[in-house]
Amino acid sequence: MQANQRYAFIVLAVGFTLAAVIMTVLSVHLLTLLQSQGLALAAAVALGTLIGPAQVGARVLEMLFGKKAHPIWSLLASAVLVAVGLGMLVGAPGVVAAGIVMYGMGSGIRSIARGTVPLALFGKEGYAVLMGRIAMPTLIAQAASPFLGAWLLDSFGTQVTLAVLCGVAVLSILMVLALVPYALRRQRADARHAP
């Protein structure tokens, strides 16, 4: 792996790991986060059910409109939607519902971008090994995240936990932005070598 590829690999792996932390903490602790802001359990569950349809809807939209764009833009859209959605979780119930939909859309798009971005950045050769290397820190982070989320909630409360998750989401956006120049250079090089 060349130096510029190594840089892109590290940035991508860190970005995917940060996103995995956010999504795992939220999937485990969403109801607790919502209830601690005054929502009844039934309302929290109802809001939580918005994530699945939002994920599916975003995947359909990505398949329809994202085909011609470089996958890095889908990854960026995912990171922004997740960050904005998380930020909206501190609002009134209507705002929270919109935030959960945005978060779900970002999560849904990320599930596609997780496979397409590495392929676009590094090509087909060695793809399976590359995905395994990216998966290792992600899986470790996913295993630790429920405990981390519980510790944050127990030690610092809902507002700090959401602030930390928002901070991680902003870092995730920065990781994607750091990849954009590399992705565009790679796209131009691939276009030059295409038959």
69-84 pLDDT, tens digit each:
899 999 999 999 999 9
Q: If you average pLDDT over residues 26-45, what whole number do you get?
A: 92
Q: If you average pLDDT over residues 107-119, what whole number do you get?
A: 94
Taking a C-beta distance cutoff of 8 angstroms, is the pair 121, 135 a contact?
A: no
Q: List pLDDT tens digits, range 153-183.
A: 999 999 999 999 999 999 999 999 999 999 9
Residue 1 confidence (pLDDT): 64
Concatenate the DSSP letters of all residues of 102-152 into one string: HHHHHHHHHHHHHHHHHHHHH-STTHHHHHHHHHHHHHHHHHHHHHHHHHH
Task: Flag whether pLDDT at 116 surpasses 70.
Answer: yes
Would you tell me how many other CB atoms lie within 10 Å of the CB of residue 126? 11
CA distances from 102 to 60, 78, 156 (A): 15, 9, 25
> Which residue type is seen at 20?
A
Burial class (CB in 10 A: 0-12, 13-18, 19+), 131: middle
Burial class (CB in 10 A: 0-12, 13-18, 19+), 195: exposed
> What percentage of the chain has pLDDT greater than the value 70?
98
